[in-house]
Amino acid sequence: MDMRLWGDSTGVAQLPVLELLAEQGYQGVEIPVCGQGSSALKLLRVALEELDLEVTTSTRLPPQANPVSPDPAVRQAALDYLRARVDESAVLGSSMLAGGLFQAQGVFSGKPPSDREWEWSRQCLRAAAEYAAGMGISLAIEFQSRFDAHLINTAADAARMCRDIGLGNVGVLYNTFHAHVEEFNPARALPAAGEQLLHVRLSESHRGELGRGQVQWHETFATLDFLDYRGWLMVQALAVGAEAVTPENIWRNSFDSREQLSADAIRLIRQILRIQRQ
């Protein structure tokens, strides 16, 4: 379960939420790393281990740390930012850092992506991945819709970037929300990720309760089964944040309650998997 449903800064204050998720049957959580500090992350790691919850981490790049900026200083800041998030992931015990790591979310050039931007992003990601490899951490690159990014919008784009980086600890993050916007259908999009498919986020078309939107869930799971995907299935939903503006532009909650959403999501996943196995 993606903990961003409960806010962008997860700590021991969310222990009751973590306990609830463990009771509901979740095997792991995805924690956003954003400079919480080593001490807070160590305490959180202890709590997760006591609950027998595995962990992955996520981040998003701010405008001042953009791998595709024409300013070399901003590109260096992006690499420094990613390395810091890798460090935090290691403290938390995560073996994967996920997100739209290829550019700052919501920052656009006003033009189609250029070869120069692609190379800038590739260089940044390769350097970050080399750093992460030393800690046993993989990078999962999430392709994002045209409303969030302009460089990598499809599974095929993300797979191409992984191939261009050429390191074994870099893979594709497939998010059903972004795929719903940009792809024709899961049966074509997921195979485009190919051997690079590393991580899957299950997110509804309105970012709310799974099964009450337009995402093709049965087709998605059938294709994942056909591809023999064995990685994480990370439930993702987002809520109105405490800040006035967030990069995801969530203006209303598309669920009754966070607790009900997490319960219904794991129930839906189990139901679909059970049908597939019959």
pTM: 0.95
Residue by residue, DSSP assigns 5-22 as GG-SS--GGGHHHHHHHH
Residue by residue, DSSP assigns 123-174 as HHHHHHHHHHHTTT-EEEEE---TTT-SS--SHHHHHHHHHHHT-TTEEEEE
> What pLDDT is recorded for position 96?
98
CB 68 within 8 A of CB 114: no
Residue-level pLDDT, tens digit, the chain, 278 residues = 999 999 888 888 999 999 999 999 999 999 999 898 999 999 999 999 999 999 999 999 999 999 999 999 999 999 999 999 999 999 999 999 999 999 999 999 999 999 999 999 999 999 999 999 999 999 999 999 999 999 999 999 999 999 999 999 999 999 999 999 999 999 999 999 989 999 999 999 999 999 999 999 999 999 999 999 999 999 999 998 755 446 677 878 889 999 999 999 999 999 999 988 87
Tokens of 214: 């337009």
Alpha-carbon distance 60 to 212, whole Å?
27
| Strands 138-142 vs 96-99: parallel, antiparallel or unpaired | parallel
> What pLDDT is recorded for position 249?
77
Ordered domains of the chain (ranges, CATH): 4-277 (3.20.20.150)
> What pLDDT is recorded for position 244?
46
> What pLDDT is recorded for position 60?
95
> What pLDDT is recorded for position 9?
83
CA distances from 206 to 120, 213, 248, 277 (A): 32, 6, 11, 29
Burial (CB count within 10 angstroms: exposed 0-12, middle 13-18, buried 19+), residue 222: middle
CA distances from 66 to 34, 36, 137, 147 (A): 15, 21, 21, 16
